[in-house]
Every structure is written in C-alpha cells, then in structure tokens.
Amino acid sequence: MDGFLFIDKKEGVTSTQEGSKIKHVFHTKRVGHVGTLDPFATGLLILGVNKATKAITFFDDFIKEYVATIKLGIATDTMDLTGKMTIRKEVPDLKEDIVSLVLASFLGKSKQLPPMTSAIHADGVKLYKLAHQGKEVDRPLRDIEIFEIELLSLKEDELTFRALVSKGTYIRVLGSDIAEKLGTVGHLISLKRTKVGPFKVEDAIKSDDVSDLSLKSTYEVLKEFSDVISFDDKKIEDIKNGRIKNLVHKGTYDKLLVVNSANNAIAMYLRKDNDNYEFARGLF
C-alpha cells in the first residue's frame, strides 16, 4: 500500500517513533516524514508510506504554521521545556500592544542561527549529538522568513503566538529572540504545528487510530498543490523509461503531476520557465 498519512503527533514521542509505529501497522520499512517535530511538540506530521516516500521532497518548500507558548523569565539550554535552566531574569510589565509591536518586528526575511540541539548535520554528525557531548560548533546562519505573526494571549510571564514561517525556521529560536527583544529571556513550553502548506492539523488523526482506510493516495495528496496531466499507456511507458524529459503545459502550479488512466502517480515535473516543465522524479 502506498500513500500519505496525516498524523496529529502527541507530545513526548519523536517523529521517528511515530514513523516506526506506522511501519508496524503497514508491515513495511519504507516510511518517511515531512519535516521533523521535536519530541515535546505536537501537531501535524505528514508521513509517506512505501512509494509515496519518493514524493516527500516536493513538500520541502511549504510554508508552515505554528502556535507556541513562551515562558518568560527563564532560559534553558534547549530553548524549550526539556532543557536545563541557564538564566533567570526579571520579566518587565508587558502590555499587549507593546508585545504585538515586538512580534511584528520579526516579520519578513532574516537570518537565524540553528540551535545546537537540532537534527541538522555538522561534518556528518547531528548537532544534538554533539550538544549531548558538551560540544558547540560553528554553524552557518540560515535564511528564513516570517510571513505572519500575531499575539494570541498574554498573561504575566507567558505569551502565546501564532506564526506562519518558511522552511528552516526554528520556533524555539524565534521564541528566545522574542523574549530577548521584550527585555527578558524565555523558552517554549508548548509548540503545535497547525499547517503544512495546504494541509491542516484539523484533518489529521492520532497514530493510534491509523488503519488502511486512513491512507490517502499519492495522487489525492499531490493534486492539492500540483497540476495534473494524464497520459495513455504508451506515453506513460516513455516517461518511465526516461524518454520524455520535458513537457509543455499551461499550468497554475510550478509542479506538474503525471498520472496514468487509473490516477496512479507516475512522475513529477517542475516548471522550468513559462509553460515548460522538466522531469524531476519518478513516483512509480
């Protein structure tokens, strides 16, 4: 069975553990996830099963939405509630209008330093493994963009905000930066991913409730953000054999999904320019 699952990840488990549970349900070793969620985080986790794992790369550039709560006055070494306290600092008397202005100052493009407690690699080793050894290494700043950010609630030493961000944005770092700009320190005590591109957590299910019926076909999912074109069996065979590298199509999206007569996903083409699409990957 091939397709995608939309899971509302629970707190306290890793994205990999959620994937392992799905491997057991579908008796397969081929399960991959779109974007890692920290163990303490909850919310939308998209999983590809079997052949659908080939399409995961096409989710990479999606804008994501998060809702997070910052505990002000205390910093931790992980920037979230799982870490050890490093600094305690007084929290100023904050008003909603001032906090909203500070949040708005983060809108737009900027550069962000990834935390040491992250899964990105340095010299082939994940940063969090180096952090567990007490090591800190230089890591390059990453280009990020905050498209929307708003205050949802403010009470004494806690504030909750919603943010729509580009890929590569660490909400833990954003939370720490917000606290600093408010004249104090802080760490995340909750984090929920509510959207990934066009997909919402409201449409997700808990991994404990997964069954064969939960699986959405690759076609059904990819058509939400791709143009779709169907060909006869002969042309499908030509595509599978690498004989058709380019397609001309007047499309709405920058992605063009090729399917056969049964709506099975065959290949993805990406817009090169105007109406010209170039072969990106086979999905069969």
The C-alpha torsion from 273 through 35 and 110 to 185, rounded to 10°, is 170
Record the tokens describing residue 203, joined without a space.
Answer: 């449409």
Q: Which of 38, 80, 177, 227 is catalytic?
A: 38
Record the tokens describing residue 191, joined without a space.
Answer: 């984090």
CA distance 167 to 48: 19
To which residue do tokens 């737009």 refer?
108
203 is catalytic: no
Q: What number of CA atoms fall less than 13 Å from residue 26's CA on the CB side? A: 28
List active site positions. Answer: 38
